[in-house]
Amino acid sequence: MLEAILQTKREEVLSLQLPETYEQLPRRSFYDALAKPRRVLGLIAEVKKASPSKGIIRQHVNVVDIARAYEQAGADVVSVLTDEKYFAGHRSYVTQVKQHVQIPILRKDFIIDRKQLVESVRIGADAILLIGEALDPSFLHELYEEAHEMGLQCLVEVHTKKTVEAILKRFTPKVIGINNRDLTTFHTSLHVTKQIVPLLPPCIIVSESGIHTYDDVQTVRQAGAHAMLVGEALMRKPAVDVAVYELFGEREI
């Protein structure tokens, strides 16, 4: 599946038209938000309408309303999917959310080309995702450096020991995301976080995908994650703010 997505992305990048920056959207720090999370475990809450493994996750999504509810419920960062074909996202969602919430925005897409870095800046993203399983490690490092030169921070995602080692041989990302989902098979297991955390040097660790319950939150916290990235478990609930409280075992006030 990952290969099909990347193939589409390569085609999209060829005809990518960069948007105009008509408004100055000040940059917010993704790193600071995760270094000082509001709760014991940081939360990156994701706006996700659909995914290739689950199909439509939520009907009639108002992206701004969801992001505002996440912010009010104390999320530290909002993740916004911008891939159109597989995740029903759109790059304009980042700009809309940026104008209505104060917390940093992670642009979630398959970044494979420098042009997408410029695009990310112009739409108002504060941080981007770089996927270890999708990029050659040297090129990932180059994109990471270039992103920083443009003022974009990065979440570097890994899934296997092999990818971790290849990346750490070259540099230490400030924030590493451990994807519990295998992007080739879509199989998800929180065990991946337990296996990968011990391999990592000091950095901010985010456990990503497949976190649904309070028990899951305890599992990834005990495994050593500093934050978690949650999409589906929140998007499937009628009220996403209540879903955040439930995940943390809090009662709505």
Closest CA to 252 of 62, 96, 74: 74
Span interacting with ligand IGP, options 27-35, 65-73, 99-107, 205-213, rule CB under 6 A: 205-213
- With 0-12 / 13-18 / 19 or more C-beta atoms within 10 angstroms meaning exposed / middle / buried, residue 169 is exposed
| Main-chain dihedrals φ then ψ at residue 232, nearest 5 degrees | -50, -45
Per-residue binding string, ligand IGP, 55-94, x by CB under 6 A, is ----------------------------------------
Stretch that binds ligand IGP, among 11-19, 90-98, 116-124, 226-234 (CB under 6 A): 226-234
From residue 136 to residue 165, the character string flagging contacts with ligand IGP as x (rule: CB under 6 A) and all else as - is: ---------------------x--------
Q: Cβ 179 to ligand IGP, closest distance in Å?
A: 5
Q: Does residue 42 belong to the site contacting ligand IGP (CB under 6 A)?
A: no
46 binds ligand IGP (CB under 6 A): yes
Q: How far apart are CA 22 and CA 24, in angstroms?
A: 7
Does residue 216 contact residue 210 with C-beta atoms inside 8 Å?
Answer: yes
Report d(CA 2, CA 6) in Å as an integer: 6
**154: three-class secondary structure by DSSP:** strand
Residues near ligand IGP (CB under 6 A) are: 46, 48, 108, 131, 157, 179, 208-211, 229-233
